[in-house]
């Protein structure tokens, strides 16, 4: 049994954040139909995030974890016939996830109110940059813009340099994808109690501010503004940072608690550094005083005396929080990553064993599973329509009329 195996989801989220949201739900057992507009339909976003086509696309699909455990239905929602097919699917669906700019699904006639009218149990989740309302709701944007407005970007990097762009992890995948999953699951739990679905409005920007809750709490409490690269968790202090090793690779050090700092100092034979550790002012201010400069300089020099892996073996044996700074070609050979099954091998009918990222949510009784590879565009169109009662002749007519793909 899979935790969500009776949950049916219609996926209109055509970009990676929405795809990760539904991937997680699919890994946990949900039946997900990815609704894809044929590129020949036209429009500004035509073909964006589209599943690959043809035999050449099978390799691309095999290595695309974001759309695993999904079926693809090529459907033109701009046509009346296409909308009617969507409505038939929506009548028995549990969840709809969409990632368009606010107002787009209403223009297509597949918005929450339209679906709720005939399926009041529907959980309808919208993922958008700034949310469905407010002065910025119609603005375009990407991760870098949302983390700017939320205050995260200004906190990342060194104090004497411009902010460092942290990939698109914060707004796209944590702010939107993960908060989307949480919102959907919470709404499904509520539906189990009330019998009614609801609308889930997820904004990338809101999610980032939520991720900053701990830091924002300090700001509201003291009024002090956290500055880039100047706090204990920014790498400003020597007990929490990254150091180059003898082989040119890097080691991360995370001695936030005083006992871990003491373990490090004793391991290095520098007991005189033990009193110099975290205090309340470190959260907001960069280190001041010659002693901090001395300690930082010493650690930079001492880490150059062993290789990265030698430091990891030595310091972990002394109960010092440390990590090897990996590149991707090292991550998936790490014994802990392998033990936690965060790389999985799936047998492909033509490519042999294919590796993909594993499932992070570990459930003891109903564990998730990678059941199918990502689909080709429209790979399941006929199967889905036959399940809705369409005949092969009707499907042929719909395809000729470019209602389906």
> Would you say 320 and 239 are in contact if contact means Cβ atoms under 8 Å apart?
no
Q: What's the rounded Cα separation, in Å, for the pair 102 and 134?
A: 11
Helix (H) or strand (E) holding 72: strand 70-74
- H/E stretch holding 206 reads helix 204-211
> How far apart, in whole angstroms, are the C-alpha atoms of residue 351 and residue 248?
36
> Is 172 an annotated catalytic residue?
yes
Could you give the angle at which helices 16-27 and 179-194 cross, rounded to 10 degrees?
50
Which residue spans within 76-208 are E strands per DSSP?
95-98, 123-128, 198-203
Provide DSSP, 8-65. Answer: EEEEE--SHHHHHHHHHHHHTT-EEEEEE--GGG-STTTTTTPPP-TTTHHHHHHT-G
Q: 6, 80, 133, 142: which is the annotated catalytic residue? A: 142
Catalytic pick from 172, 206, 234, 277? 172
Q: Tokens for 76?
A: 């033109």
Position of tokens 């028995």?
92
Give the number of other CB atoms < 10 A from CB of residue 114: 18
**Quick one: angle between helices 179-194 and 204-211, nearest 10?**
100
Q: For residue 60, how many other CB atoms are within 10 A of its CB?
A: 13
Given the DSSP bridges, would you call strands 322-324 and 250-254 parallel, antiparallel or unpaired?
antiparallel
Are 370 and 70 within 8 A, CB to CB? no
The strand pairing partners of 97, in sequence order, are: 11, 125
Known active-site residue 142: yes
Residues forming a β-bridge with 242 = 252
State how beta strands 31-36 and 70-74 pair.
parallel
Which active-site residues does the annotation give?
142, 172
């Amino acid at each position: 049994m899979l935790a969500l195996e009776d949950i049916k989801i219609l996926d209109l989220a055509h970009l990676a954040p929405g795809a990760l949201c539904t991937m997680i739900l699919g890994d946990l057992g949900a039946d997900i139909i990815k609704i894809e507009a044929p590129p020949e339909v036209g429009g500004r976003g035509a073909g964006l995030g589209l599943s690959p086509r043809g035999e050449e696309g099978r390799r691309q699909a095999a290595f695309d974890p974001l759309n695993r455990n999904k079926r693809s239905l090529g459907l033109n929602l701009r046509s009346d016939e296409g909308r009617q097919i969507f409505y038939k699917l929506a009548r028995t669906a549990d969840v709809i996830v969409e990632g368009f700019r606010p107002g787009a699904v209403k223009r297509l006639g597949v918005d929450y109110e339209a679906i709720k009218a005939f399926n009041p149990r529907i959980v309808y989740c919208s993922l958008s940059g700034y949310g469905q309302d407010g002065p910025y709701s119609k603005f375009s944007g990407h991760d870098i813009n949302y983390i700017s407005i939320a205050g995260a970007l200004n906190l990342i990097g060194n104090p004497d340099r411009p902010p460092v762009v942290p990939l698109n992890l914060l707004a796209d995948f944590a702010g939107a994808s993960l908060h989307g999953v949480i919102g959907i699951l919470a709404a499904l739990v509520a539906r189990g109690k009330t019998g009614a679905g609801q609308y889930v409005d997820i904004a990338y920007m809101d999610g980032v501010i939520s991720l900053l809750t701990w830091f924002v709490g300090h700001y509201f409490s003291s009024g002090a503004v956290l500055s880039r690269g100047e706090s204990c968790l920014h790498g400003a202090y020597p007990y929490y940072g990254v150091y180059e090793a003898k082989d040119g690779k890097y080691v991360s050090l995370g001695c936030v608690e005083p006992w871990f700092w003491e373990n490090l100092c004793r391991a290095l034979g520098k007991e005189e550094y033990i009193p110099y550790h975290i205090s309340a002012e470190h959260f907001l201010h960069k280190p001041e005083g010659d002693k901090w400069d001395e300690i930082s300089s010493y650690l930079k020099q001492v880490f150059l005396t062993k290789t990265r892996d030698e430091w990891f073996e030595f310091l972990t044996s002394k109960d010092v929080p440390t990590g090897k700074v990996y590149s991707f070609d090292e991550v998936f050979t790490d014994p802990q990553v392998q033990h936690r099954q965060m790389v999985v091998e799936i047998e492909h009918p033509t490519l042999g064993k294919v590796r993909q990222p594993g499932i992070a949510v570990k459930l003891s009784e109903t564990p998730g599973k990678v059941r199918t590879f990502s689909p080709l565009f429209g790979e399941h169109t006929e199967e889905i329509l036959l399940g809705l009662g369409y005949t092969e002749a009707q499907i042929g007519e719909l395809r000729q009329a470019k209602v389906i793909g």
